[in-house]
Amino acid sequence: MRKFLAVVCGLMVLASTAFGAGIKVAYITSRGGLGDLSWNDIGFAGVTKAAQDFGVTVRVIESPDPVGMGEKLLRDAARAGFDIVITMEYAHLTVLPKVAEDFPNTLFVMLNYIIDAPNVASIIFYEHEGSFLAGALAAMVVGNTSIPGIRGNKIIGVIGGTKSLGIDKFIVGYKEGAHYIDPEVEVLVAYSEAFDDPAKGRELALAMFNAGADIVYQVAGATGMGVIQAAKETGHYAIGVDTDQDYLAPEHVLTSVLKRADIALYLVIQDYIEGRYPGGKVYHMNLKNNGVGLSEMKYTRHLIPAEYIAKIEEIKQKILAEEIVVTDVTGLSRPYSEIDP
């Protein structure tokens, strides 16, 4: 039996490495780095799966200053002979066009921004739409005092990692979703100015809970771990981001806004390997293809009235039908009717 398993495993390795053997992928993390249980980790999950399925070699590149060292990180990776260079750092949008021009044989992958270059694959997420759903759910829940931890103040909050268009895209969608349900809901907003400071996240969240908020959405990478901790400590709720963070504080993470960088990066690598060169292409990750959305709410669904869940699905369908148009402050998303299926 063991001999049979060894043969099967050997065949699996051969099959998985047949297409991607020899292809090298550099994965440059953003602020916060691996272990953030959020943006960097979910992207890494995608390239890890590509390594397992296709046999590509992946190297993680982390820096104490990924913003200031951005151009050097990108150039060093290209010079080292990586076929695909992925950057998870939004701030690299200013330096990547020149680097890509200087290394035309390297495929670069930019997330959250569109770079018009023949050797850059751009990935756009419709976080504003996922955040709209989260805001709508929060507005319904915060008005229902029969739900544990809800005081009826009709106050919710959101904490961003930095004041930027990329983060405000989440925040504006969240606010619009809340006010779609109830214009009287107050939305508190704060910025941690850090993606790797859980203590700061906890401090800001506690201030919001003390000000009457019962639900706080975190859009701050590893800083958001402090937001979730504060929700657990106070008996209120956090909303997670990027990955399914519901398990981090069962019954105290209302839901998570999923941003499936894992799926997107896997698709880019798969296209590269299978001869569909991703350079010059824009990947739109949205509600329609499950590139964004809400978690299953495994630990809170029993607390949420069924009609609220049904209302969220109704809103989702209206967004897909373009009956509801959520503001994208970056201006990078497109109407569903204009996107190729």
Task: State whether 157 and 171 are in the same domain.
Answer: yes
For residue 305, being part of any structural domain is answered with yes
Determine the average pLDDT of the residues in 103-107: 99
**Residue 86 bridge partners (DSSP):** 27, 109
Write the pLDDT tens digit of every residue in 196-215.
999 999 999 999 999 999 99
For residue 133, being part of any structural domain is answered with yes
User: Domain count of the chain?
Assistant: 2
Task: State whether 156 and 230 are in the same domain.
Answer: yes
Task: State whether 206 and 314 are in the same domain.
Answer: yes
For residue 18, being part of any structural domain is answered with yes
Indicate the pTM of the whole model.
Answer: 0.90
Which residue in this structure is represented by tokens 């850059």? 120
Q: Where are the beta strands (DSSP E) in the chain?
A: 24-28, 57-61, 84-87, 107-111, 120-125, 155-160, 186-191, 215-219, 237-242, 253-259, 282-285, 292-294
For residue 338, being part of any structural domain is answered with no
Task: State whether 183 and 278 are in the same domain.
Answer: no
Determine the average pLDDT of the residues in 122-130: 98
Task: State whether 243 and 157 are in the same domain.
Answer: yes
State whether residue 117 is helix, strand or coil: coil
Task: State whether 28 and 147 are in the same domain.
Answer: no
Task: State whether 197 and 115 are in the same domain.
Answer: no
In DSSP notation, 145-165 reads TTSTT--S--EEEEEESSSSH
- Domain holding 194, by residue range, is 127-257+293-330
Q: With contact defined as beta carbons under 8 Å apart, do 315 and 180 qualify?
A: yes
In DSSP notation, 183-206 reads TT-EEEEEE-S-SS-HHHHHHHHH
CATH number for the domain spanning 195: value is 3.40.50.2300
Write the pLDDT tens digit of every residue in 1-36.
322 222 223 333 333 444 667 999 999 999 989 999
Task: State whether 149 and 236 are in the same domain.
Answer: yes
State whether residue 53 is helix, strand or coil: helix
Task: State whether 248 and 189 are in the same domain.
Answer: yes
Task: State whether 150 and 109 are in the same domain.
Answer: no
